[in-house]
Structure 1
Amino acid sequence: MTIKEIKVPNIGDVSDVEVIEISVSPGDRVKKEDSLVTLESEKASMEIPSSDEGTVEEVKVKLGDKVSEGSVIITLRTEEETSVSTEPSKTNEPIPPEKSEIKSPVASSTKQSKEVSVTIPDIGDAKDAEVIEILVEPGQHVNKEESLITLEGEKATMEIPSPFAGQIKTITLKMGDKVSKGDAILTLVISEEYPSTLSAELPSAPVREPSVPKVENASTKSSVTPVLATPSTSNESTHASPSVRRLAREFGIDLSRLKGTGPKQRIMKEDLQKYVKGVLSEGDSRGSGLQIPKMPEIDFSKYGETECIPLNKIKKLTGINVHRSWVTIPHVTQFGQADITDLEEFRKSQKEETEKQGVKLTPLVFIMKAVILSLKEFPHFNASLDSKGENLILKKYYNLGIAVDTPNGLVVPVVKDVDKKSTLELAQELAEISQKARSKGLSPAEMSGSCFTISSLGGIGGTGFTPIINAPDVAILGVSKASMTAIYQDEAFNPRLMLPLSLSYDHRVIDGADGARFIVYLAKYLSDIRTLLL
């Protein structure tokens, strides 16, 4: 047997690094490369592994210590190969043949049960530590070093492991109890093997004393012997026990992203499992790296009278879609204005004639025509990213989604092949789909397949807004209420009817310069009615 000192290896240029976690305790069996302590510098944290295999004799550091290269972490008791025949060889007596040993009845043994009371070990300066987690229950079988409870002091959190393997009979304490050194945790039933007959022919050999005191009389009732457990501590800022931290490291999870459901918002194992299941169920989705914290539940009734109205299906679905688009698509909104003075004069001049044909000619029809011309000029606006975000799919067709406000919520019917239809045909179709939307008559096919979306609030008011992209489109046009504005042109101020435009686009696909060019081209088409009629 050899005692070796395990020291801090070369950790680069850093010195006086803080010990933030101790992963072993005296008596622990460690293998080569097992983590012993965790150190934290200004730039990073690192685990220090064991350079040998053996049993921890003594831990030389404590939480909060500052260490550098060469500082002793632990002393390790290693076992070396020794000769087995030292004792018998000292005598002149011949060694009995192996066969005679085999005939001796040495294999017979009996098992006896014993109850031991596991108590709180020396936990340093911490007194009245609170029990914040009980990890076992009566009847459960535990292995040696398996965690039993978690305590929380003023400076650190520690798990108390079992000193033996056995079955839990009773648990003495409960959640929230204040405990100190020597307080009982639970009663553990352990089993031991005792030889029933020994061979007189065999030479006596040294036997290591068991760690649990022997029962003096096996026929009498077994007594409960107090046994101290050994704590494992952690003082990292996140509110979680060491076992939860170990699991988090195995899964590569940042605990700061989790919200704990335990006492004092402690992160429990169940919280970690729920988080992992949630991530797995979401799958691999580009842009889903944002971890949005949930809104806290608030009791608004304490401030006054309230009424709870459930959202209908349309509002729920719309909420899910716009939220997904907002958190997964990097939005940029470009604002502009279009002079529609001439366009509006032409529309009004045709109003009486179109109404005779049963068609209402609205400004939106002309905006749709202008959008198609702009999409042809800038084809990457008429596109979608693939599911992996690695390819741009250019579309050779022109379908426009038109946002329609209904009493039940926002819906977006799609007008297909806009480039192939006349102004009057578009006006007629717009009236039909708007009626269907308000009467819940739209089919799923009539709300899918868009290339670009228009959201018009011109009939209500406002001077500008930031519309949310209707994924998988890469852009959306917001239209506000037109107003007469004094515009300086031809060395004079003239009243012109100006239409506010808001273009939101996916910055992964569209650069800012192209966004500005698109809205300039769109304004040019709307300002000159002749280009729309060609």
Structure 2
Amino acid sequence: MSELKEFLLPDIGSDAADVTEILVSVGDMIKEDQDIISLEGDKASMDVPAAFAGKVVEIKMNVGDSVSEGQVVIIVDVAGSASTDAPVVAPRVVAPVEALSASASVEVVEVCLPDIGGDEVEVTEVLVAVGDIIEADQDILSVEGDKASMDVPAPFAGVVKEIKISAGDKVSEGTLLLMLEVQASGAPVAPVATVASAPVVAEVAAPKAAPAPVVAPTPALAPADIKASPSVRRIAREFDIELGAITATGRKGRISKEDVQKYVKRQLQIAKSGGGTGNGLQVLAYANIDYSKFGDVEIKPLSRIQKISGPTLHRNWVTIPHVTQFDEADITELEAFRKEQNAIAAKKDLGLKISPLVFMMKAVAKALQQYPNFNSALSSDGESIVLKKYFNIGIAVDTPNGLVVPVVKDVLNKGIYDISRELGEISKKARAGKLTAKDMQGGSMTISSLGGIGGTQFTPIVNAPEVAILGVSKSAMKPVWNGTEFKPRLMVPLALSYDHRVIDGADGARFITAINNYLADLRTLIL
């Protein structure tokens, strides 16, 4: 026998939110706490779990609908499942029984961290102080975890009596945040039928926060090390802005709404003038052609990586004034040394193989130390450059799903064996699709090597916000004049592309010449 029950949207910490995804269909059998819809509001993105198990009979909303607390989400046939009342969603409230009586005027309650979709997060900022009068849904602290950054709202209004956490603390679901003095009539607690001597504890669950979308072929949208509230991140997504391009002026390096507004105004001014980054270019759209009328066709969707990297590569190509410097490096002695070291490593059973790319990485790191302008980034306003004091080399890796650029850290201070091991590990991780955003951040310069595939030269696109990239093609034996005769030498073609706003042609020539010298005589790398 059917027993239909309405599931109502619980308190989600804001007046309304948009439905971004419906995770169930009519006829599905769902479990208690199974996520059924995804929402996005001003404060956070989140998944809403079911309050009870059963069969989905009807879905009462569509993607794009704006919903609020108490609205019917789905109708479930709970026949055969234990019937439960719809839960009240709020942080845990603990108070003595005496304080819950109708005659009491005020009470002190505990506010605990609700379920935010992760095991543990770090408190980045406490937004209230002892003595503050706060309103319901006012943000009381900011936290940051592996999945997202978010602000935690107060479940109800009151006076802050005591704060139990500090910035930098690690907290998880149920951690006591603060003590709040509230009006007894306003405390969201269930009526107490019997009086007991022990405190009454009412625990309820909050919706799980959904992971913030990551858009990153290289350090991309909203990397984890950028501090901004969910509302600010949402505004940035709506305007398709990379938070890394915005200068933060908020407390403790946080990006504020005003920072985003200033950035948008500046970009609009640049677009109107037709200058700056080139975002004012008027590009004709492609014609919509029916290719099937010319013969058989197959529609193959772009991979996720291609969808992400395509717009970024296009932006870099049309907004950066590229110059590409071509040259050849003599790696005859380097190759002999490499083969010798691989033979030694095999005898010692070290489990590694040294590739020519490892020496390229060392040479580039050394050249970056010699010419600091190459180890820099152009500021978002285009009025200064940021000189980096670290030497991290990005390596373009070809994977079944597209090109990714993991970063090997501190190359200048690592030996050939260490770099070889790390390069092998990160390449396997890339091809398995297990790279994280952190693995692809913090590069000084990128190397794109096609030597193992073929080709004589190509023009690599600068991997912004870096200002230069080195392209490596297939090496070949060539007759080289040494002053008295032609000698067979192993030569590798190099192509150095750089941002002409930061680097002059003369410096480009010096940089690629320095790389050539380091590769031709490895002894110079230790000078």
Q: What TM-score do you get using the length of structure 2 for normalisation?
A: 0.47
Structure ID, larger Rg: 1
